[in-house]
A and B are shown apart, each in its own frame.
Chain A
Amino acid sequence: MPAIAETLNTVQSVADSGYKWGFETDIEMDFAPKGLNTDIVRLISERKGEPAWLLEWRLRAYAAWLEMEEPVWALLNFPKIDYQDSYYYAAPKKKAGPQSLDEVDPELLRMYEKLGIPVSERAILAGVEGTQARAPMAVDAVFDSVSVATTFRSTLAKSGVIFCPISEAVRDYPELVRKYLGSVVPPTDNYFAALNSAVFTDGSFVFIPKGVACPMELSTYFRINAKNTGQFERTLIVAEEGASVSYLEGCTAPMRDENQLHAAVVELVALDDAKIKYSTVQNWYPGDANGRGGIYNFVTKRGACRGARSKISWTQVETGSAITWKYPSCVLQGEGSVGEFYSVALTNNMQQADTGTKMIHIGRNTTSTIVSKGISAGRSNNTYRGLVRILPRASGARNHTQCDSLLIGDQCGAHTVPYIECRNAGAKVEHEATTSKIAEDQLFYCRQRGLSEEEAVGMIVNGFCREVLKELPMEFAVEAQKLLAVSLEGSVG
């Protein structure tokens, strides 16, 4: 079976230990001063050349944020964040476009290489004049706060698809952005969403017009690079009637000693019969074995199935970050709309993850599926927290939730906190959860066939996650398998 061969391959390449993606790119940055106040909010808005309404919107969010308190309900333990000790704006210094790859900052190219971006695309990403897109995937790389380049835009434009940095969308498609921005995650939704709304610097904007199936998978790489910069990207995806799109998000960050803050907001809107598939592989720096450093990841992701029969599907593989606070959700308004959440969350060493989903059933005959796989190793803590809410009008609503936890070692914790709220007699909700460890007989079987303990564990964990991994687009599934193995290093033996 190719999948097993793949796994073995992965396990073999695991030999080089440590955080493989922990490189730091040394290029000139343009910083705003440290700290957060209305001046910084104004400065960000000004640098981006934003219209007055957006500045107003940011300032209102900032005012709301000041009134809010950092939530404490998650099973997470971290020192108080000093929001004044962070940079809220950092951009690579702007130069005239290079004429060939030779003129491109070699550091930037090396980064693309390590990220595995094909050569042909690197030129485009680096903004080399005259390069054209041929490969079938469009990439929007967010390098710290500014979207460096967007590839394949012209190919996409032919089908009417808009894929660009959100700052550009604000300029070029203001009425679309104004209509949808904050319509799924209002600026005052929660503490971190309010912070993001005030200071977001970039992110992607995707618009798929009526009846169009996006001709290629769209992809974004997020990286946090400069020291002590928070990254606050904002992604907005709108699929009109009958449109469909698959969007991939990959996250890596270089190795840093201090904790870095990341508070993103992702909003999805699906109209009648539209389909949005959103996949994430998150392997930001998790901190070292003693819990020093690592990313604080506080993300608000929410999709609105506004139209009848629309579908939003979240798939995530979370292996990175010191702290993860993330609940990709679906608001199922349209009749017969579908929400899905497939998740693998792996924590090792001192990592802490509190992640899950919310499925809000509003419309009739709405259905949702939740499959969550949590793996805890080392001294980590991994929590699934999910809400299924059936409102009175949601007759015929259906939910099935499955959450499984796997413990590796006796120093870690696995927790499950589901909330089920049902206010409709015609709805059906099912939830099952199990917690277990890797069975001795499974391990024995693998060891007997010559696999080392570490290889065996990697293979068993991949099998445990299969239901989720199969939901990922091919190239992501492969990366995810490797990541699982790498992240488990040092957890056995």
Chain B
Amino acid sequence: MSGAVSLVPAASPADGFLSRYEGLTQRLPGMAEPRRAAADILRRRGLPHVREEGWRYTNLAALADVRFHEPLTEASGFVPDTDLPDLDGFDGVPRLVFLQGRFSAAESVLPDAAIVRSFAASAEFGVLPQPERDRLVALNTMLAEDGAIIEVPEDTDAGTLLLVSAGRDIHGTPIAFHPRHTLRLARGARLTVVEIHCGDGQYLNNPVTEITLALHARLTHVRLQNESPEAFHLATIYADVAADASYDSFTLSTGARLARVDVHARLAGAQGHVAINAAQLLRGRQHSDFATVVDHDAPGCASRQTIKHVLADHARGVFQGKIEVAQAAQKTDGYQMNQALLLSPDAEIDCKPQLEIFADDVKCSHGATVGDLDPDQFFYLISRGIPREEARAMLVRAFLGEVLDMVEDERARAMLDRVVDAWWTVPV
């Protein structure tokens, strides 16, 4: 907050990506013009810098130290049985599997009720993610090669669909991939998407997802970010929610050395509903930044956000959340809660829960708490003979339980529980 802030962008790490783009222009799918415009933006402004308000807590400079490899023509080096995540409980559930950002028909099972097309074939960039507003979108737009375009027809319940991304370096050489997904639910349609990111070795996963929900549509979006501990995960989601539609999302972030998730949800029609909940479990030197913007542009909408962080070792958790209420959005009900548990003296939490309100008849509140475990609760447990480590784990599980409980899909919930349990097998 203090000191004069210079607006001159510093040297940016976009150069490596730009030279890759220049070598690739002839081979990238779809129209060249949006990519050229995106490249111009990156050439002019570079990647986001810590001197920019939205990036004050997350430094992308580490990306510049890695020389990501030339584009891949096909996935290589994969051992499907060991590289794919544990999908117990999802037997028979349709799935779209992407290996190193490329669609793998062999691993995928297409859904019946939803229509799936490939970005590589149609290269639709959509309208919500705009390169000029967001430079990670520019990076994706410049280099996107593949992705899924998923459409659910009117009044159809398409059930559950798995969207799996497995990353891997190529024989030790880091690679980067920029998937571009689109989810479109027509009037009254329903879908649950369980999105899983996992992998091995060093790579950059930079997905951009556009979500459009028409009148009465409902999308449940459960995301598990369990990337390789050496990976970079930079995900951007734009969701447009029409009248009486609902976007219910949950993200568990526990992988990657550097992660940033940007969720922009816009309530465009009356009586819409948005939930953006998340848990971040971090250790070592992991850094994970969860950033949300909820735009209330129509009256009578509700938004709910609960974000919890459990931070061990030298981990750093970041939450930046903004609720914007336009003048037309009377009777808005907005809620945002951010809570962090610091399990180590070297962990750090930074948060910025922000309200921007231009309508007078609204109910908006936010809260934030940071602290250690409650000593009274801890004492209660150990006085009943529960070993210290176990007592600690119990209390942390209870803390996380409050947000995990918001995942209503039982199979997804069971999967998340398994990941949280596994996290504890490595002592904190």
Contacts and interface: CB of A to CB of B under 8 A. Distances in A.
Are A and B genuine complex partners?
yes
Contacts of B348: 421-423
Interface in A363-391: 385, 387, 390
B137 interface: no
23 contacts: A72-B5, A358-B2, A385-B1, A392-B346, A407-B359, A410-B361, A411-B327, A413-B358, A414-B355, A415-B356, A417-B352, A420-B350, A421-B348, A422-B370, A428-B369, A428-B372, A429-B370, A431-B353, A431-B368, A433-B367, A434-B363, A437-B361, A437-B362
Contact of A68 (B4, B7, B351, B356): B4
Given A69-B6, A71-B4, A410-B327, A418 B364 contact: no
Contacts of B350: 419-422
B357 A418 contact: no
A191 B2 CA distance: 9
A190 B3 contact: yes
B48 to A, nearest CB: 15
A419 B349 CA distance: 11
A279 to B, nearest CB: 23
Given A358-B1, A437-B362, A427 B371 contact: yes
Contacts of A416: 353-355, 366
B76 interface: no
Interface of B: 1-7, 53, 327, 330, 340, 342-372
Interface string A209-243: 00000000000000000000000000000000000
A70 interface: yes
Contact of B360 (A408, A423, A425): A408
B365 A433 contact: yes
B3 A189 contact: yes
B354 A415 contact: yes
A435 interface: yes
Nearest to B348: A423
A416 B369 CA distance: 16
B360 A407 contact: yes
A420 B370 contact: yes
A73 interface: yes
Contacts of A190: 2-4
A405 interface: yes
Contacts of B363: 434-436
Contacts of B372: 425-426, 428
A293 interface: no
A424 interface: yes
Nearest to B4: A68
Given A390-B370, A435-B363, 15 more contacts: A189-B2, A405-B357, A407-B359, A416-B355, A417-B354, A418-B353, A420-B350, A425-B372, A426-B372, A427-B342, A428-B372, A430-B367, A432-B367, A436-B363, A437-B361
A461 to B, nearest CB: 14
A428 B349 CA distance: 12
A435 B370 contact: no
Contact of B368 (A410, A418, A435): A418
Nearest to B373: A425
Most buried by A among B4, B342, B350, B351: B4
Nearest to B372: A425
A424 to B, nearest CB: 7
A251 interface: no
Nearest to B368: A431
Contacts of A431: 353, 366-369
A385 B358 CA distance: 17
A414 B368 contact: no
A327 interface: yes
Most buried by A among B53, B340, B346, B351: B351
A70 B4 contact: yes
A432 B351 CA distance: 13
Nearest to A382: B357
Contacts of A182: none
Contacts of B354: 415-418
Which 10 pairs, one residue from A and one from B, show the smallest C-beta to C-beta distance?
Answer: A425-B342, A407-B360, A431-B368, A68-B4, A429-B370, A428-B371, A416-B355, A435-B364, A422-B370, A434-B365
B4 A69 contact: yes
Nearest to B332: A435
A271 to B, nearest CB: 24
A437 B364 CA distance: 10
Given A407-B357, A408-B360, A410-B330, A424 B4 contact: no
Given A410-B330, A421-B350, A430 B5 contact: no
